[in-house]
Amino acid sequence: MKTIAILGFGNVGQNLAKLFNDAGYRVIVCSKSGDAGKGEYLSMNYLEGINAADAVALAVPYQVLTELLAPLAKHLAGKTVIDCTNPLNDDWSPLLLGQETSAAEQIGKLLPDAKVIKAFNTIFADVMPKKHHDREGKKITAFVAGDDLSAKNNILALAKNIGFAPLDVGPLSAARYLEAMAHLNIQIAVGQQGGTQAAFIYHQGN
- The binding site for ligand NAP (CB under 6 A) comprises 8-13, 31, 59-62, 64, 68, 84-86, 88, 121, 123-125
Round to whole Å and give the CA distance between 137 and 120. 20
* Residue 153 beta carbon to ligand NAP: minimum distance, rounded to whole angstroms: 22
Which lies closer to ligand NAP via its Cβ, residue 9 or residue 200? 9
Which lies closer to ligand NAP via its Cβ, residue 155 or residue 206? 155
* Residue 206 beta carbon to ligand NAP: minimum distance, rounded to whole angstroms: 30
Which lies closer to ligand NAP via its Cβ, residue 125 or residue 180? 125
Render the burial of 48-81: b for 16+ CB within 10 Å, e for the rest.
Answer: bbbeebbbbbbbbbbeebeebbeebeebbeebbb
Residue with the closest Cβ to ligand NAP? 10
Which lies closer to ligand NAP via its Cβ, residue 143 or residue 149? 143
* Residue 205 beta carbon to ligand NAP: minimum distance, rounded to whole angstroms: 27
Round to whole Å and give the CA distance between 202 and 48. 38
* Residue 61 beta carbon to ligand NAP: minimum distance, rounded to whole angstroms: 5
* Residue 11 beta carbon to ligand NAP: minimum distance, rounded to whole angstroms: 4
Which lies closer to ligand NAP via its Cβ, residue 48 or residue 150? 48
